[in-house]
Structure 1
């Protein structure tokens, strides 16, 4: 199983529409990933290391998928739709990391 993390850095002058991300973008992505998607998560940044520290990321989205090849195929197939949707909720260039899940507790 893999986990895809999409991180949206908190930078000066950047915007992020969490409502659109939750209700439109992530469900669209889940549809594109289909049965390969086990589940997804959305984090909304609240604080940094302490309550007074600036949040490092405005939001982080996660996709938990069974197969990396199938994930890559879906992203390639729907790339245009994905790229065209991003400006509808943010002007942030996301950072993406794909990881192998070595342990997942129940």
Structure 2
């Protein structure tokens, strides 16, 4: 993941000039953050409803809100990773010491 070699479809970006590729990546990151914000907002509403309703999991006597809390947490981690990538790109693609520690 540090080298940006995670699963992705890169047919279009590989055919673009470097400047256009940069703008496309920023656009995709912005859309991802927008999606993340939407999912976080509505999942927090759901967690509040579950908490107030006292709905519990059938397999365990635990409030369902705790299980649903994984959804906004995961999307928050995605946002953090996108920001890390932005910082990394601002260092010219080198690993930023603020992200990975001193090299």
- Which category describes the TM-score, using the shorter chain as reference length? under 0.3
More relative contact order in 1 or in 2 (CA 8 Å, sep 6+)?
A: 1
TM-score (norm. length: structure 2) = 0.27
TM-score (norm. length: structure 1) = 0.26
Higher helix proportion:
2
Higher Cα Rg: structure 1 or 2? 2
Higher strand proportion:
1
